[in-house]
Structure 1
């Protein structure tokens, strides 16, 4: 099934004005109807928690109310409907979005994707021994350089039964790329080569819900610029910046009013079906190659020479 990845996430929130400002400051563009989008049109849809149009909330009270995946074509949408109708209800709304539930109770949507191609260069790095990446006299960074989220990358769920949850997504063509022992898998749908668009974390039932979601940036420098600007606006860094081991992506996580963490990521590994999944024990040693700590700007001088 040619599922590309998440097109948008739907949240029912307690503080709608605060969440609007948060997503604007994060770098998403505000569109009509409280939709906040990245450069390719993927994004986040906000609603009041008690909005009657929302799917039922999880018993945990998670503010994530639905994950809507983009698929390549109508044939894929039909194949998903046929598979899900074997053992659960499915309905299609007036906009052509197919809705159902996964085995953990998360609301799922599927639509023919509306994401748009993004024609922007990635970060260029000059290094001895390699051909010149940046043209002469082109600087690698600037204080005013753009650092906008390019595409919705992945979502992470706390689930009470990671094995059962994985089996459900395997029915839809997701494959495991890597795994944390006794925790859960990183999953990639067949329509993308990104290391993962979904990560499942085994957790007690009362925690069922979203742990974090993230958008791809154009490179590590964009990630650091966006994160630094976010901190300067008063938002609280939770984890990072750093670089993960499984997936190799750079990361920087922040607390959010959406009831979960939000991340910037950059430079994720890409895999095809020849890739052999790795397995690692959970913990700090296997979660990141390195972890940096943000601090206010500093410069050497006679008063702080030591």
Structure 2
């Protein structure tokens, strides 16, 4: 089934103003009435008041995520998903064209024909001895006011009480396990994407069920560092990073948020096809990242090193 990846996430929150401002400061752009906040390619986060009648029901936990909507390639893919899901659950199609159901863990899902804009911006370029120069002579690799905006909704991470059962549901829809943390959960890639994962499942007690974090792709590690630094300077609190993951190889920087979950910047994720053999590793600090930095106030030579 040709699922390309995430199209948008929907949240129902206590403080709509604070959450929308957070995502604006993160780098998204508000459209329409301001409830939808988009990355450069049109993938988005939708933030509504938790009592809004348009929202799917809460899962009954602390999670504020109300719906995850995936992009599919075409109407044929949408019909294939509908046919599969109707075998054992209720499925509806809204006036917005979104096919909706609930997965085996209670997460509200949607599927729609992709509405992604071409970005048309080059990736971060580097110069390295032994290779052709990535940047032209006198072209700067970084500068103070360089753009560092989220490009595309990358992945979402769920806390689930039964990761095996959850994985089996998504396998029905063509998701493939690219790597796995033993006794924790799988990284899942939809068939229509080469990204290492757009969904990661983490085994937790039932009372924790919900979203752990979501992230948007940036144009490279410098953009992750630049956007994250600007975010800190706006007063937001770093949770984990910056650093680089082992499984997926993506650069990361996570932040606390008023949405009740973490929000990440990421860049340079591995790409895989069906010939890739999934790895299984024990979860630990050593297997979670290759290296980890910690943000501190800026410093200059000659200043107090402490």
Q: What is the Cα deviation at residue 61 of structure 1?
A: 3.1
* Residues 1:11 and 2:37 aligned together: no
Paired residues, what number?
305
* Residues 1:169 and 2:170 aligned together: yes
Q: Which residue of 1 aligns with 2:60?
A: 59
SS at 1:210 equivalent: strand
- Distance change >3 Å, CA 126–CA 104, structure 1 → 2: same
Flag structure 1 segments of 5+ consecutive residues without an equivalent. Answer: none
* Residues 1:276 and 2:250 aligned together: no
Output aligned runs, 1:183-194, within 5 Å.
183-194=184-195
Q: Distance in 2 between matches of 1:280 and 1:118?
A: 35
Query: For structure 1, which segment, 262-271 or 25-34, has the greater mean C-alpha deviation from structure 2 after superposition?
Result: 25-34
SS at 1:304 equivalent: coil
Q: Distance in 2 between matches of 1:58 and 1:89?
A: 17
Q: Distance in 2 between matches of 1:304 and 1:129?
A: 38
Output aligned runs, 1:293-304, within 5 Å.
293-301=294-302, 304=304
Q: What is the Cα deviation at residue 255 of structure 1?
A: 0.3
Output aligned runs, 1:122-133, within 5 Å.
122-133=123-134
Q: Distance in 2 between matches of 1:73 and 1:166?
A: 24
Q: Distance in 1 between matches of 2:69 and 2:305?
A: 53
Q: Distance in 2 between matches of 1:284 and 1:228?
A: 24
Q: Which residue of 2 aligns with 1:102?
A: 103
- Distance change >3 Å, CA 305–CA 12, structure 1 → 2: closer
Q: Distance in 2 between matches of 1:200 and 1:218?
A: 25
Q: Which residue of 1 aligns with 2:84?
A: 83
Q: Which residue of 1 aligns with 2:233?
A: 232
Q: What is the Cα deviation at residue 92 of structure 1?
A: 0.5
Q: Which residue of 1 aligns with 2:202?
A: 201
Moved over 4 A (4+): none
CA contact 2:299–2:305 (8 Å) conserved in 1: no
1:152-187 residue CA offsets vs partner (Å, 9 max, x unmatched): 000000000000000000000000000000000000
Q: TM-score, normalised by structure 1?
A: 0.99
Q: TM-score, normalised by structure 2?
A: 0.99
Flag structure 2 segments of 5+ consecutive residues without an equivalent. Answer: none
* Residues 1:262 and 2:255 aligned together: no
CA contact 2:188–2:196 (8 Å) conserved in 1: yes
Q: Distance in 1 between matches of 2:16 and 2:50?
A: 9
Q: What is the Cα deviation at residue 305 of structure 1?
A: 6.6
Q: Distance in 2 between matches of 1:210 and 1:95?
A: 24
